[in-house]
Structure 1
Amino acid sequence: MNLGSHLIQRLLRLPPPITRDLVVERDLDVPMRDGAVLLADRWAPKSGGDGLPTALLRIPYGRAGMAAGPMVRPLAERGFQVLIQSTRGTFGSGGTFDPFRHEREDGLDTLEWVTKQPWFGESMVLFGMSYLGFVQWAVADRLPPQVKAMIVSVSESALSLEFLRKDGFSLEVPFDWGVMVAGQERRWAIPRQLLGAKRVQRALYTLPLSQADVAAMGCRSDYIQDVLAHDADAPHWELLDHRHRVADVTVPVSSVGGWYDIFLPGQLRDHQALRAAGRESRLTVGPWAHVSRGVGVTATAEALDFGLAHARSEQPPERAPVRLFVMGEETWRDFPSWPPPGYAPQRLHLHPAGALAADAAGESAPDGYRYDPADPTPAVGGVRLATGIKAGRVDNTGLEARPDVLTYTTATLDTDVEVIGEVSAEIWFRSSLPCADVFVRLCDVDEKDRSTNVCDGLISLTEADRTACATVRLWPTAYRFRRGHRIRVQVSSGAFPRYNRNPGTGEPRATATTLRAADQEVFHDPEHPSAMILPVRQPID
C-alpha cells in the first residue's frame, strides 16, 4: 500500500504526508429516504482519525481502483478523513442508476447521515471532479452548517445540458460516456473500453443514430436514447439543471477548470453567479482537457489548501480570486475577476483571398465550399472526451488542407496580442439547404506555418438557405499571440464526431437516415461584415 502512496504523491506533486498508515472501513450502509441503501467506504488515519474534518466524495465509477484511489488517499494522509460513496445503482449501492436524477435527494440524505456518525467531527468539505462536482451543485443550496467549503473541478451545475443544445448537439461526449458507464462494472472493464474504442467511434456513423448504442455495445442504453430524443430545454432534463441553486451557496467555493474542458462555459457561468451574489469563490483555469493530470494535481492542492483551511475555521493563504494559465505566454497570471477587466472586444474581419484584418472588407464575392455529411469535416483536438483521442492543442495542418475548411489569416504580428475572455464570431452565411452548421475555430500560426487551435464553437441553423448572420459562441480562452505569429480563423460546417454531423434534411437526430451534401457560402462584403470578435488588451494593427 505504501508503494501506491508514494506513486500518488509523485503523480500529484504533493509534499510528504502526515501518515501513510490508513484504515479503510468498507461497505458502510447509508440509508436513503426511499429505502434504498447506498454503500460507502471511510478512509482515515489508523490512529487519530475520528473527529478530523471529513471530505465527502460521491462517485458513480466505483470506490476503488484508478478512479477513486488517487482522489481519496492523498486527502486521508494529509489531514482529512474521507467518505467515498457509490451513487445509486452503482458498485453495490441499491436502487437503479438513472444518471444525474437522484443526486439531490441522495446527496441531502447522505449529508444528514454523515453528520450523525460517531466518528464525525465538526466540519466537512465536498470534493470531486466532473460528475463528482455535479453532485455538489445538486445540494449546494441546502448544505448543513457543518459543510465549510466546496472544491468543484471540471464540472458545472447543469452538467451535460451544453451538449444537448438544439442549436449545437455535441454527440461524442454523452454517447461515449453512456457506453462507458453501461459497461463499467463488467470484468476487465478498462481493457474492454480500450479495445472497444474504435468500435465506439465507428458506431457514431450509424444511421439512424437510435441504433448506435447497439452498434457500439450490443444492447440499448436508456440514457443514450434519452440524449438522442430530448433537447437541453426539454422537461425531461429539468432534474439535471441546478443553475438556480448556485447563487444561494453560502460556503466558499474553489473551482478548477481547463481551457479545453468539456464543461468550461458552465463552470465560468457558475463562478460569475457566485461572485454576483457576493459569495466567496475562487477560480483556477489551466491549459487542460477534461482528464488532464494537471486537473487532479490542482484540485488536490486546493482541497489541502483551501478546503482544509476552511474546515479548520482558518483562512487559506491569500491569492487573487482568479488564476489563469495564459497559453502562448505559457505562464500563470492572477486577475481580480472573470472576465478580467481591461480587455475590449475587437473585430477581426474576414477578407477575400483568405485575409483577416481589423478593417472591414470592401466589395467581394463570397467564398464557397461543399459540405458532405457522408465525409464529414473531422474534429481535430480541442474539446474532446473519447478514449484514445487527443484533446487540447494540436497541429491543424491536415484539417486546414481539406476543401471543406476555409481559413482567414492576419499578417505577421508586429507586437504580442493578448486575448482573455469570451470569444465569439459573426459569420454571414448561406447554404443550399435550410439546415446547416457553422463551425468556427481560432488558431495561432507560428513562424514555421504550424497552425494550433486555441478555441472553437458551433451553431446549427434551420433557415440556412437565406443569407443571415450566424453568431457563434466559442469556448472562452486566455491566449497570447506572439510577435512574429499570425492569427487564423477557420470556418467550416462541422467537427465530427464531437458535434453530430448535420444531415441537411431537418430530420430528428435520432431517426435521420438521409444525408444530403450542401454548398455553403461565407460572405465578407460591406453589407455582410463577417468577423471574429476577440477580447483584446493589445490593439491589432
Structure 2
Amino acid sequence: MSLASRLVERVLRLPPPITRDLVVERDLKVPMPDGTVLLADRWAPRTGGKGLPTALMRSPYGRRGVLALGSVRPLAERGYQVLVQSVRGGFGSGGTFDPMRQERADGLATLDWLVAQPWCGESVVLFGTSYLGYVQWAVADSLPPQVKAMIPHMTESALTLEFLRKDGMSLQTPFGWGYMVAKQERPFAMVRQPLELKKLRSALDTLPLADADVAALGHRSDYLQAILSHDADDPYWAAADHRDRVTATTVPVSSVGGWYDIFLPGQLRDFRALQEAGLPARLTVGPWTHTSPDNTVFTEALGFGLAHARGEEPPERAPVRLFVTGEERWRDFESWPPKGYEPRRFHLQPGGALATATPEPSAPDTYRYDPGDPTPAVGGVAMPPGAGRVDNTGLEARADVLTYTTPVLEADVEVIGEVHAEIHFRSSLRHADVFVRLCDVDSKGRSTNVCDGLTSLTRADEVTLASVRLWPTAHRFERGHRIRVQVSSGAFPRYARNPGTGEPLATAVELRVADQEVRHDPEHPSALILPVEAADRPA
C-alpha cells in the first residue's frame, strides 16, 4: 500500500503524510431505527488514531477500491480518522437502495451512532464528492454539535432535479448513473467499464426510452423507470430535495465545484443562499469536469476542515476563488456572482454575425432538425470521457447547427457570472428544443466551447421567445479572439432528443423531422446576454 499511497500523493500533489501506517476496522455494524444494519469501515493511524477528528463519508459506491485509495487513505494519513459507510442497499449494507430518497433518516442515524463511539472524539467533518456530498445536505439542518464543518465537492442539495426538468430533460447523466450503480457490484466492473459505456450509448438510442433499461441491463430498473416517469416537479422526488436545509445549516461550508461539472448551477445556488443568509461559507470553482482529478478538495479538508475541527481559524482567503478560463488563472472575489459585471446583449445578426448593435431587418436563418440523426453532444458538461473543453469544428460544420461570430476583438472581454440567451424561434412542429452554446474562437480559428444550455418549447409552431439558461462561467475572451454563439435543436445523448410529437419521452416511438427558424431583426432581437466586466469594476 505504501507504493499506491505515494502514487496518489504524487498524482494529486498532496503534502507529505503524517503517517502511512494505518489500521482498518472492517464491516462495523451501524443500526438504523427500522432495524436495518449498514456497514462501515474505520481508517485510522495505527497509533494515536483514537480521538482524532473524524471525516464521515457515506457512499453508494462501496468502501474499498478507488474510493479507499483516492479519498479515504489520503485523509487518514494526514490528520483524520475516517469512517466510510455504504448507504442502504449496497456493498453489504442491509435494505434496498432507493437513490436520493432515503439519505436523511439514515444519515441522521449514522451521525447519532458515530458521536457515541468511544474513538470518535469531539469533532466530525462531513466530506465527499457527488453523491457523497449530496448526503451532507440531507442532514445539514440537524447536525449534532460534534460536526464542525461540511466540505461538499461537485454536488448540490437537489441532486436529481436539474436533470429532470420539464423544459429540458437530461438523459445521459441520470441514465448513465443508474446503469453504473446497477452493475457496479458485478465481478470485474471496473475492467469492463469501456465496454459498458459502448453498450450504454447504444441503449440510449432505444425507442421507446422506457425499454432502454432492458436494452442496457437485461431487466427493468426501478430507478431508470422513475427518472422517465417522474419529472422534477413530481412529488415522487420530494424526499430528494434538500434545498430548504441549506440556510439552516449550523456549520461552516466549503464548496468545491467545476465549470464543466454536471451539478454546477445547483452548487452555485446553494452557495449564494448561504452567503445571502450571512452564514460562513466559501466557494472554489476550477476548470474541471465531474470526474477530473484535482487536489483542491483535499486542500480544503486539510486546511478548512481540520482547522474548524480543532477550533482554529482556517488560513485566510477570499470567500470565492474562481479559475478564469481563457486567462487560465485563479482569481479571488467576495461573492457569487461577483460585483462589477453587467449584462451585455450580443445580438444575432444576418450573415452569421454577432454584435452588440440591434440587428437590421433580415430574413430568419433556417435549418432542419432530424431526431433520427440528432445533433450530437460534443464535450461540455458530461460524466464520461470527452467532457469539458473541446474543438467544436466538426459540430459547427453540421447543417443543423447555426453559428454567429463577432469580429476579432480589439480588447479583452471578461465574462463572469450567469449566462442566458433569448432566441426568437419558430418550428414547423409544436414541440421543439433550442440548444445554445457559447464558444471562444482563437486566432487560428479553433472554436472551443465555454458553456451551454437547452430548453424545450411546447408552442414552437408560433414565433416564441425561447429563454435558455446556460451554465455559469468565468471566462476571458482575449484580444485577437472572437466570441461565437451556436444555435441548434439538441445535444444528444446529453439531452433526450425531442421527438417533435409531444408524446411523453418514455413512450414516444415516432420521430418527426422539424424545419426550424431563428429570427434576428428589430422586432425579434435574438441575443446572448453575457455578464461583462464593467469599466468601473472594483479591483
Q: TM-score, normalised on structure 2? A: 0.99
Equivalent residue number for residue 21 of structure 2: 21
CA contact (8 A) 1:328 1:479 kept: yes
SS at match of 2:383: coil
Residue 151 (str. 1) matches residue 138 (str. 2): no
Residue 449 (str. 1) matches residue 449 (str. 2): no
Equivalent residue number for residue 405 of structure 2: 409
Per-residue CA distance 1:135-158 (angstroms, 9 max, x = gap): 000000000000000000000000
Residue 482 (str. 1) matches residue 493 (str. 2): no
SS at match of 1:68: helix
Counterpart residue type for residue 382 of structure 1: G
Q: Partners in 2 of 1:220 and 1:11 — Cα distance?
A: 39
Q: Which runs of 5+ in 2 are unaligned?
A: none
Residue 101 (str. 1) matches residue 101 (str. 2): yes
Equivalent residue number for residue 6 of structure 1: 6
Equivalent residue number for residue 334 of structure 1: 332
Q: Partners in 2 of 1:363 and 1:109 — Cα distance?
A: 65
Counterpart residue type for residue 6 of structure 2: H
Residue 191 (str. 1) matches residue 187 (str. 2): no
Q: Which runs of 5+ in 1 are unaligned?
A: none
Q: Could you tell me the percent identity over the aligned residues?
A: 73
CA contact (8 A) 1:54 1:125 kept: yes
Equivalent residue number for residue 431 of structure 1: 427
Return the offset for 1:482: 0.4
CA contact (8 A) 2:340 2:534 kept: no
Q: Partners in 1 of 2:514 and 2:234 — Cα distance?
A: 29
SS at match of 1:447: coil
Equivalent residue number for residue 456 of structure 2: 460
Equivalent residue number for residue 306 of structure 1: 304
Equivalent residue number for residue 379 of structure 1: 377
SS at match of 1:200: helix
Equivalent residue number for residue 238 of structure 1: 238
Alignment of 1:135-146 (within 5 A): 135-146=135-146
SS at match of 2:67: coil
Equivalent residue number for residue 30 of structure 2: 30
Residue 472 (str. 1) matches residue 463 (str. 2): no
Q: Partners in 1 of 2:421 and 2:196 — Cα distance?
A: 37
Per-residue CA distance 1:327-379 (angstroms, 9 max, x = gap): 00000000000000000000000000000000010110000000000000000
Per-residue CA distance 1:301-340 (angstroms, 9 max, x = gap): 1101100000000000000000000000000000000000
Among 354, 357, 366, the residue aligned to 2:355: 357
SS at match of 2:467: strand
Return the offset for 1:538: 5.4
CA contact (8 A) 1:427 1:531 kept: yes
Residue 505 (str. 1) matches residue 507 (str. 2): no
Q: Partners in 2 of 1:115 and 1:74 — Cα distance?
A: 22
Among 322, 341, 344, the residue aligned to 2:342: 344
Q: Partners in 1 of 2:69 and 2:58 — Cα distance?
A: 13
Alignment of 1:16-415 (within 5 A): 16-294=16-294, 297-386=295-384, 389-415=385-411
Q: Partners in 2 of 1:391 and 1:149 — Cα distance?
A: 31
Q: Partners in 2 of 1:97 and 1:68 — Cα distance?
A: 21
Equivalent residue number for residue 532 of structure 1: 528
Counterpart residue type for residue 16 of structure 2: P
CA contact (8 A) 2:422 2:526 kept: yes
Q: Partners in 1 of 2:323 and 2:67 — Cα distance?
A: 26
Q: Partners in 2 of 1:538 and 1:337 — Cα distance?
A: 16
Q: TM-score, normalised on structure 1? A: 0.98
Q: Partners in 2 of 1:207 and 1:476 — Cα distance?
A: 33
Q: Partners in 2 of 1:322 and 1:68 — Cα distance?
A: 30
Question: Which stretch shows the higher mean deviation, 7-16 or 30-39?
Answer: 7-16
Q: Partners in 1 of 2:383 and 2:151 — Cα distance?
A: 22
Counterpart residue type for residue 447 of structure 2: S
Q: Partners in 2 of 1:29 and 1:492 — Cα distance?
A: 53
Q: Partners in 1 of 2:242 and 2:63 — Cα distance?
A: 25
Per-residue CA distance 1:354-411 (angstroms, 9 max, x = gap): 000000101100000000000000000000113xx30000000000000000000000
Counterpart residue type for residue 80 of structure 1: Y
CA contact (8 A) 1:429 1:521 kept: yes
Q: Partners in 2 of 1:515 and 1:321 — Cα distance?
A: 48
Counterpart residue type for residue 524 of structure 2: H
Q: Partners in 2 of 1:319 and 1:197 — Cα distance?
A: 41
Q: Partners in 1 of 2:84 and 2:178 — Cα distance?
A: 22
Q: Partners in 1 of 2:142 and 2:484 — Cα distance?
A: 47
Per-residue CA distance 1:493-531 (angstroms, 9 max, x = gap): 000000000000000010000000000000000000000
Counterpart residue type for residue 466 of structure 2: A
Counterpart residue type for residue 450 of structure 1: R
Q: Partners in 2 of 1:101 and 1:200 — Cα distance?
A: 25
Counterpart residue type for residue 211 of structure 1: D
CA contact (8 A) 2:147 2:251 kept: yes
Counterpart residue type for residue 28 of structure 2: L
CA contact (8 A) 1:418 1:538 kept: no
Per-residue CA distance 1:420-451 (angstroms, 9 max, x = gap): 00000000000000000000000000011100
SS at match of 2:66: coil
Structure 1 stretches of 4+ with a deviation exceeding 3 A read none
SS at match of 1:456: strand
